[in-house]
Amino acid sequence: MVEQGLIEEWKRTKTIGIIGMGDMGQLYARKFAQNGWKVVCCDREENYLKLQNNCLDERYTVLKNGHFVSRISDYVIYSVEAKLIDKIVGEYSASTKIGAIVGGQTSCKSPEIKAFEKHLPPDVDIVSVHSLHGPKVNTEGQPLVLIKHRCQREESFEFVETVMSSLKSKHVYLTHEEHDKITADTQAVTHAAFLSMGVAWYKKQLYPWTIGVNRWYGGFENVKVNISLRIFSNKWHVYAGLAITNPAAHQQIMQYAKSATELFELFVQNRKDELTRRLSAARKFVFGKQERPLLLDDSILEKYSLSQHEPQEGEKTLPNSHLSLLAIVDSWHQLQINPYDHIICSTPLFRIFLGVTEYLFMTPDLLATTIDAAINGDAFRADDLEFVIAARSWSTIVSFESYDLYKRQFEEVQEFFKPMLPEANVIGNEMIKTILRHCDENST
């Protein structure tokens, strides 16, 4: 524990610098400044005056560029797009204050650490971080990864920990290699699933919550809709950086598309016994050792819907094949990933998705009903086809490592859902709070 007197001295004498004022950069700057730290920051130089005007009421100071930030900061955080990290560190690293600490906030650490080692002066310590949540999530209690990569002064890591305590997050200590493997395991497939849902609905020009109770109605569907729209309300590069720059993520995304394709083939070929055997094996591998209560249940999700439709007498919701959920568990099985191994440093979206898949696979008769709907029902067959195409298109884009294609597909879907994003975020925020509180209660 760092003595309070030393913390107060640091706050009087040390400066925190943030290069890159996107959503997460702004979140960090605001939190640190509110907690009594002196914070300076910058974005692209052409944004200087606009950013300065937008931040007049904030407690941090906006500077012209990364040179001005680096030369006076005792801890510099690069909060920039993963694909730009090498270029931006290369541009500003020579201005780094002697004996300073430098870190990054990108979602993939290997390129970030490589850029730091390549460009930073040898007297600079390297301590990187990554908040495992989006900018709209309350930081309190969320996982925060700290990576002590190069510390010539023991005080450096204690200083970074103290600064980061402003977020009131749960600190998780990893190497950069461990971080990238875990984030691939917990985020890549989750994002691929919800991105694919959004593309499928866009291709069908369909807002699924507007068609009544016949389809996409109920707790499961509320999660799918709200989380998919939540992802498309953010910036494309947040997800592209993780998917494209992290080699471990490539494997996950490819397998997810493969699992979705192979399961759909079993649907249309009426191979019920083979489908049942495959999903039973996946259930045994992923959930077979889980003896604690379910993370989620359908009843707590019912009220978080964008739908304005009230069920009328005689109206019935058709069972869904839940291909997106079946494929996630199948891909975990195929890759021999135990999702519970990483629960301590997982994102809110991952915990929600894990909870929903757990409920589907472990609730008596629900998996059997889902399999029957996949084989014998045709209400979702065309939608499942679009979903498979969407999953394969994301995997192709990632395999090509094309940021341009990723951005184009993401922003096309984002534009389609744009009218609903503000309302979806409000409902989604409340849903996430309820779900995470329920998960925390049942995991203790």
Torsion angles phi and psi, residue 214, rounded to 5: -65, -45
Mean confidence (pLDDT) of the chain: 88
Which amino acid is present at 438? H
Pairing of the two strands 125-131 and 143-150: antiparallel
Q: Tell me the sheet residues that pair with 130.
A: 145
pLDDT in tens, 112-141: 999 999 999 999 999 999 998 888 788 998
Torsion angles phi and psi, residue 144, rounded to 5: -130, 115
Yes or no: domain 4-174 corresponds to CATH 1.25.40.10: no
pLDDT in tens, 164-213: 999 999 999 999 999 999 988 888 888 999 999 999 999 999 888 777 55
User: How large is the average pLDDT for residues 371-389?
Assistant: 94
Write the DSSP string, 280-349: HHHHHHHHTT--SPPS--GGGGTT--S--PPPPTT--PPPP--HHHHHHHHHHHHHT--GGGGGGG--HH
pLDDT score, position 158:
97
Q: What percent of the chain has pLDDT over 90?
A: 64
pLDDT score, position 352:
79
Instruction: Give the confidence band of 349 by pLDDT, cuts at 50, 70, 90.
Output: confident
Pairing of the two strands 101-104 and 125-131: parallel
Instruction: Give the confidence band of 320 by pLDDT, cuts at 50, 70, 90.
Output: confident
Instruction: Give the confidence band of 303 by pLDDT, cuts at 50, 70, 90.
Output: low
pLDDT in tens, 202-241: 999 988 877 755 666 566 777 788 788 888 988 898 899 8
Write the DSSP string, 191-221: HHHHHHHHHHHHHTT--GGGS-SSSS-SHHH
Q: Is the torsion defined by CA of 370, 357, 440, 349 positive or negative? A: negative
Q: Is the torsion defined by CA of 236, 242, 245, 251 positive or negative? A: negative
pLDDT score, position 359:
84
User: How large is the average pLDDT for residues 402-421?
Assistant: 93
Task: Say what the pTM is.
Answer: 0.84
The residues spanned by each domain of the chain are 4-174, 178-443
